């Protein structure tokens, strides 16, 4: 599988364009233009939404016509996936098992995958990471980190 | 002369064993909160506040202000080493600090940053010493039109430079403004752009956006390029620290100019963030090594760091003299002042001479303590760059996640942060500049509020931006910064064509 420079440009332009359109539509609810209370609150977002929209259309055409030969080859995509997928899973399971268990699991997984076979060091690092988070945030700065559904379940 | 006498008296108060000890503790705690993204000077100062209730007001303010200095220095560390700015004002430091560290010179980058920061802070304190009474008048002259003009100037000095495609720059800037508008509109009180998600009423926090755009985005770029840090020698590089510091005067002109920008923005009060961006933009325009900016140019670290600290320091002046807190940290400190039974405002300088001048003297000493401590930690922090990528990557993801969550205890922020990470990766890959977007997220809504309040004052007439000398000068300077490069380039083109 490969991603061409052209489709990457087009994809990004569509993304920004969609955001611009959403901003335009949403700001119309707040009213645009001048009223008795001064410049209405939707005016500025409306203008910037239009700028985003117009710029995205320009970038879309420009990117399609003059795309540079940046391509994400198989290797690049694989490396991106190895970093991003575990990170996304980590963020995804926080509501379920809480930040402490998720972080410990993430550190354990990353190190164990890299070291292949040795489990003692990854386990120590995992517990160390969770403990460090608890000591710094929970105890020292009194910021409560999410425990997730699992935390509620075991009463942590 | 009267000020100098008072200052000497202040030194006799600040120079006691007890106070030096408080300075060291404050600075060390400050470095800790500064280094950890998501935690900043406001958190640290709020947590220390209860401890100060039993103290003398002078001792208490020394502890808190030293924590603030420590946090300012610490915020630069993560910007340089991991491209994660801990505070809005250290964003501009990442532009050249991070490339330099990645190229195997983290010690030089950190030492340059701390050295110029110390110079900036010193300039700010000297300014406070000399002009304490005069400043109150300048700051009082600032209304909405002047605020807007200052923000306009910050944008003008920063936007339109650099080699990014203009339309992409414009899109990036406009997205930043739109993101800044999300949440409650402070002028009308109505809720904007939440797209049906109730939790977005609180807005998109800058820290969340920046950790995704810079932290996660950079991680994705790095992993794709088969990231490896260039060989860094494992010995502790004290000599490099000293060599860097000795060579700093080479950037004398940049140091002076950046300190001037910082002091002015701190008093007026445009704030450290606008100051550092503006200083970076102007340095890039005026430098003979313009092409090296963004690739690890020392001047690109000197300019924002000096301005940031000069502004951060001189911003304490409006708080003391007028009772207007320029930042969240200053607001918390002001709360402390009132709890200790002091009233911030012009009378403070007359009624509480010991307190005011003790504090000002402690700023000199506190910054010296902070620079020494932070330089001692340079080799330790630089060693972090040698940790292998497969360990550092998950740690950065975890730090960004926890940081994003702790901003306002919201899981949505974590999801947003990851989304910003993808956007940061795509933008960087396709040469959309990130800096205009970040600048707009940070000061976009303030600029908009100032503009709309001015329009209310003038009933819709733009003439208010030319109403007095101060605001006219600011607007004209901004316009000149925007227009001159365009004219310059057109003239160059005509000249080459006619040849």
pLDDT in tens, B63-80: 988 988 888 888 888 888
The answer on pLDDT for B42 being more than 90 is: no
Please provide the DSSP assignment of B358-378 as one string. Answer: HHHHHHHHHHHHHHHHHHHHH
Inter-chain contact A55–B168, Cβ cutoff 8 Å? yes
Under 8 Å between Cβ of B307 and B258:
yes
Nearest-Cα residue of chain A relative to residue B179: A45
The ipTM value here is 0.94
* Residue A38 bridge partners (DSSP): A35
pLDDT attached to residue B251: 92
Contacts of A136 in chain B (CB under 8 A): 36
Contacts of B430 in chain A (CB under 8 A): 8-9, 12, 63, 70
| Start-to-end CA span in chain A (Å) | 45
The answer on pLDDT for B237 being more than 50 is: yes
> At B253, is the pLDDT very low, low, confident or very high (cuts 50, 70, 90)?
very high
Interface of B with A in 46-85 (CB under 8 A): 47
> At B231, is the pLDDT very low, low, confident or very high (cuts 50, 70, 90)?
very low
Inter-chain contact B187–A72, Cβ cutoff 8 Å? no
pLDDT attached to residue B233: 46
Contacts of B406 in chain A (CB under 8 A): 137, 143, 145
Environment class of A12 (CB within 10 Å of its CB; exposed 0-12, middle 13-18, buried 19+): buried
Nearest-Cα residue of chain A relative to residue B450: A39
The answer on pLDDT for B227 being more than 60 is: no
- Closest by CA to B364, choosing from B60, B134, B19, B35, is B19
The answer on pLDDT for B162 being more than 60 is: no
Q: How many CB atoms lie within 10 A of CB B140?
A: 13
Of the candidate ranges A52-56, B172-176, B459-463, the one whose mean pLDDT is the lowest: B459-463
pLDDT attached to residue B38: 62
pLDDT attached to residue A4: 84
Under 8 Å between Cβ of B438 and B210:
yes
- By percentage, how much of chain B surpasses pLDDT 90? 18
pLDDT attached to residue B209: 87
Inter-chain contact B223–A80, Cβ cutoff 8 Å? yes
Rounded CA-CA distance B359/B356 in Å is: 5
Contacts of A23 in chain B (CB under 8 A): 178, 193
- Closest by CA to B396, choosing from A15, A106, A151, is A106
* Residue A19 bridge partners (DSSP): none
Nearest-Cα residue of chain B relative to residue A143: B406
Under 8 Å between Cβ of B41 and B272:
no
Inter-chain contact B192–A26, Cβ cutoff 8 Å? yes
pLDDT attached to residue B176: 93
Tokens 């049906």, residue located = B196
Under 8 Å between Cβ of B94 and B214:
yes
* Residue A34 bridge partners (DSSP): A39
- Chain B interface, mutation test: which of A87, A103, A137, most B Cβ atoms within 10 Å? A87
The answer on pLDDT for B230 being more than 50 is: no
Under 8 Å between Cβ of B209 and B88:
no
**Structural tokens at position B44:** 């640290």
> At B16, is the pLDDT very low, low, confident or very high (cuts 50, 70, 90)?
confident
- Chain B interface, mutation test: which of A21, A39, A68, most B Cβ atoms within 10 Å? A39
- HSE on the CB side for B196, CA within 13 Å? 2
CA torsion sign for B387, B241, B288, B96 is positive
A-B contacts (CB, under 8 Å) = 161
Inter-chain contact B178–A49, Cβ cutoff 8 Å? yes
Please check whether residue B430 touches A, CB under 8 A. yes
Rounded CA-CA distance B149/B450 in Å is: 9
Please check whether residue B390 touches A, CB under 8 A. yes
Please check whether residue B337 touches A, CB under 8 A. no
Tokens 């080799």, residue located = B379
Contacts of B213 in chain A (CB under 8 A): none
Inter-chain contact A90–B170, Cβ cutoff 8 Å? no
Q: How many CB atoms lie within 10 A of CB B128?
A: 26
Mean pLDDT, chain B, as a whole number?
A: 83
Rounded CA-CA distance B351/B25 in Å is: 29
Please check whether residue B223 touches A, CB under 8 A. yes
For B344-363, b where at least 16 C-beta lie within 10 A, e where not — what string? bbeebbeebebbbbbbbbbb
pLDDT (mean) for B19-27 = 90
Inter-chain contact B430–A129, Cβ cutoff 8 Å? no
Nearest-Cα residue of chain A relative to residue B187: A41
- By percentage, how much of chain B surpasses pLDDT 70? 91
CB-nearest partner of B455 from A38, A45, A84: A38
Q: What is the pLDDT of residues B396-407, one digit of tens each?
A: 899 889 888 888
The answer on pLDDT for B152 being more than 50 is: yes
The answer on pLDDT for B328 being more than 70 is: no
Rounded CA-CA distance B171/B177 in Å is: 10
Under 8 Å between Cβ of B189 and B164:
no
User: What totals of helices (H) and strands (E) does chain A contain, helices first?
Assistant: 5, 2
Q: What is the distance in angstroms between the Cα of A155 and the nearest Cα belonging to chain B?
A: 19
pLDDT (mean) for B112-119 = 93
Under 8 Å between Cβ of B438 and B91:
yes
Inter-chain contact B181–A44, Cβ cutoff 8 Å? yes
Q: What is the pLDDT of residues B333-361, one digit of tens each?
A: 877 888 888 877 767 777 788 888 888 88
Three-class secondary structure of residue A3 per DSSP: strand
Of the candidate ranges A35-44, B366-375, B380-389, the one whose mean pLDDT is the lowest: B380-389
Please check whether residue B166 touches A, CB under 8 A. no
Contacts of B48 in chain A (CB under 8 A): none
Contacts of B33 in chain A (CB under 8 A): 141
- Chain B interface, mutation test: which of A4, A141, A148, most B Cβ atoms within 10 Å? A141
Tokens 């040849």, residue located = B499
- Chain B interface, mutation test: which of A40, A41, A136, most B Cβ atoms within 10 Å? A41
Q: What is the distance in angstroms between the Cα of A124 and the nearest Cα belonging to chain B?
A: 13
- By percentage, how much of chain A surpasses pLDDT 90? 45
Q: What is the distance in angstroms between the Cα of A49 and the nearest Cα belonging to chain B?
A: 7
pLDDT attached to residue B117: 93
Inter-chain contact A70–B429, Cβ cutoff 8 Å? yes
The answer on pLDDT for B299 being more than 90 is: yes
CA torsion sign for B346, B348, B353, B356 is negative
| Alpha carbon of residue B446 to chain centroid | 16
Nearest-Cα residue of chain A relative to residue B391: A111
Inter-chain contact B192–A8, Cβ cutoff 8 Å? no
Contacts of A62 in chain B (CB under 8 A): 165, 167
Q: What is the pLDDT of residues A65-121, one digit of tens each?
A: 887 666 788 888 888 998 999 999 999 999 999 999 999 999 999 888 887 767 888
The answer on pLDDT for B326 being more than 70 is: no
User: Measured over all CA atoms, what is the biggest interatomic distance in chain A, rounded to whole angstroms?
Assistant: 71
pLDDT attached to residue A142: 79
> At B234, is the pLDDT very low, low, confident or very high (cuts 50, 70, 90)?
very low
Inter-chain contact B220–A84, Cβ cutoff 8 Å? yes
Please check whether residue B192 touches A, CB under 8 A. yes
Rounded CA-CA distance A24/A100 in Å is: 40
What B180-183 contacts at long range (C-beta under 8 Å, 24+ apart), as own/partner pairs, is B180/B204, B180/B440, B180/B441, B180/B442, B180/B443, B180/B444, B180/B445, B180/B448, B181/A27, B181/A44, B181/A45, B181/A48, B181/B444, B181/B445, B181/B448
């Amino acid at each position: 599988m490969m991603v061409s420079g052209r489709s990457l440009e087009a994809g990004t332009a569509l993304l920004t364009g969609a955001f611009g359109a959403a901003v335009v539509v949403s700001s119309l609810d707040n009213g645009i233009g001048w009223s008795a209370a001064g410049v209405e609150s939707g005016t500025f977002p409306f203008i910037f939404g239009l700028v985003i929209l117009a710029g995205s259309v320009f970038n879309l055409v420009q990117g399609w016509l003059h795309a540079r030969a940046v391509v994400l080859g198989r290797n690049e995509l694989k490396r991106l996936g190895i970093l991003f997928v575990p990170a996304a899973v980590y963020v995804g399971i926080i509501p379920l098992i809480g930040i402490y268990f998720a972080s410990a699991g993430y550190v354990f997984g990353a190190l164990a995958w890299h070291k292949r076979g040795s489990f003692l060091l990854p386990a120590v690092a995992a517990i160390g990471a969770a403990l460090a988070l608890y000591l710094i945030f929970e105890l020292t700065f009194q910021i409560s980190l999410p425990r997730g559904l699992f935390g509620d379940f075991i009463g942590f | 002369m009267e000020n100098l006498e008072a200052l000497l008296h202040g030194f006799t108060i600040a120079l006691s064993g007890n106070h030096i000890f408080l300075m060291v503790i404050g600075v060390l705690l400050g470095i800790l909160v500064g280094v950890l993204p998501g935690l900043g000077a406001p958190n640290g100062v709020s947590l220390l506040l209860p401890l100060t209730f039993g103290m003398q007001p002078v001792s208490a303010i020394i502890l808190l202000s030293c924590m603030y200095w420590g946090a300012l220095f610490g915020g630069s560390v993560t910007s340089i080493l991991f491209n994660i700015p801990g505070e809005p004002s250290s964003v501009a430091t990442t532009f050249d600090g991070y490339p330099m560290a990645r190229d195997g010179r983290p010690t030089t980058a950190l030492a340059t940053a701390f050295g110029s920061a110390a110079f900036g802070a010193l300039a700010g304190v000297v300014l406070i010493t000399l002009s304490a009474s005069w400043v109150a008048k300048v700051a009082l002259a600032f209304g909405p039109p002047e605020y807007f003009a200052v923000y306009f100037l910050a944008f003008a000095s920063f936007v339109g430079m650099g080699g990014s495609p203009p339309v992409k720059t414009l899109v990036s800037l406009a997205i930043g403004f739109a993101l800044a508008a999300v949440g409650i509109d402070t002028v009308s009180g109505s809720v904007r752009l939440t797209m049906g998600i109730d939790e977005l009423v609180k807005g998109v926090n800058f820290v969340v956006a920046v950790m995704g755009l810079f932290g996660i985005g950079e991680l994705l770029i790095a992993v794709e390029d088969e990231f490896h840090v260039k060989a860094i020698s494992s010995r502790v590089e004290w000599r490099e620290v000293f060599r860097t510091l000795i060579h700093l005067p080479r950037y004398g002109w940049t140091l002076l100019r950046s300190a001037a920008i910082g002091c002015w923005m701190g008093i007026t009060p445009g704030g450290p963030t606008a100051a550092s961006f503006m200083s970076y933009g102007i340095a890039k325009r005026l430098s003979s090594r313009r092409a090296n900016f963004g690739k690890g140019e020392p001047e690109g670290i000197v300019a924002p760091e000096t301005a940031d600290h000069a502004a951060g320091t001189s911003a304490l002046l409006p708080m003391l003299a007028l009772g207007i807190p320029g930042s969240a940290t200053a607001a918390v400190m002001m709360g402390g002042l009132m709890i200790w039974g002091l009233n911030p405002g012009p009378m403070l300088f007359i009624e509480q001479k010991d307190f005011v001048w003790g504090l000002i003297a402690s700023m000199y000493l506190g910054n010296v303590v902070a620079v020494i401590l932070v330089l001692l930690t340079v080799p330790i922090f630089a060693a972090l760059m040698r940790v292998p990528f497969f360990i550092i990557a998950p740690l950065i993801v975890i730090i960004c996640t926890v940081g994003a969550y702790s901003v306002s205890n919201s899981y949505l922020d974590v999801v947003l942060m990851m989304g910003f990470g993808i956007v940061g990766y795509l933008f960087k890959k396709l040469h959309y500049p990130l800096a205009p977007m970040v600048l707009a997220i940070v000061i976009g809504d303030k600029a908009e509020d100032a503009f709309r309040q001015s329009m209310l004052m003038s009933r819709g007439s733009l003439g208010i931006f030319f109403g007095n000398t101060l605001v006219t000068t600011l607007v004209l300077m901004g316009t000149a910064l925007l227009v001159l490069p365009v004219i310059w380039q057109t003239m160059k083109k005509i000249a080459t064509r006619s040849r």
